[in-house]
Amino acid sequence: MAIKIVDKMPPDFRDPEKVHAVSKAISGVADDPFHILKQAGIDIEPELEEFRQFLAEISGKKPPAPKFKQVEFQNANLPESLKLEVLSILKALEFADYSESAKEKAIKKLTSMLGELSRERLTPENLQKIGLTAFAVEIIKRGEFDRVEEIKKL
């Protein structure tokens, strides 16, 4: 059983993003290694669930039945280009000492981006783009610039 999980772990060494994700996930430093792997396109959830059931069987314990129907969410990866664009706008605000005119320009730019995104076909990936952009607008409006770190961790 555990071999099935391990078999999914070796990354495609031609893809530095997957190599980085696997090393980060198994290093013990990551808060949520499964999320990191999923973002890199490595889904071990079915094998992990099978392994949990196997352990429950050999220990004589039954796994608890879920109280609610389990829903499988599609994990859309946040495009790095959009993340960098939003972060660069927020960094420019920092360089402008968070002046009111810089905040207004940043909000105007991000709102324009939201308008463009909302005209596109709604997909999980597009919804993530909209969410990130709207989040950036809100942290500017509230002056919560310390929350930029949350975006960097995505």
Q: How many CB atoms lie within 10 A of CB 90?
A: 20
- The range of the structural domain enclosing residue 137 comes to 80-152
Picking from 12, 27, 59, the residue at the C-terminal end of a domain is 59
Q: How far apart are CA 40 and CA 17, in angstroms?
A: 7
pTM above 0.75, yes or no: no
Q: How sure is the predictor about 75, in pLDDT bands with cuts at 50, 70 and 90?
A: very low
Domains: count for the chain: 2
Q: Give the tens place of pLDDT for each residue, 89-142.
A: 999 999 999 999 999 999 999 999 999 999 999 888 888 899 999 999 999 999
Q: What is the DSSP letter of 104?
A: H
In terms of Cβ atoms closer than 10 Å to its own Cβ (0-12, 13-18, 19+), residue 113 is: buried
Backbone angles phi, psi at 120, to 5 degrees: -80, 165
Q: Give the tens place of pLDDT for each residue, 140-149.
A: 999 999 999 8
Q: 91: helix, coil or strand?
A: helix
Q: How many CB atoms lie within 10 A of CB 44?
A: 19
Q: Does the residue 92 lie in any domain? A: yes
Q: 40: helix, coil or strand?
A: coil
Q: Does the residue 39 lie in any domain? A: yes
Q: Does the residue 74 lie in any domain? A: no
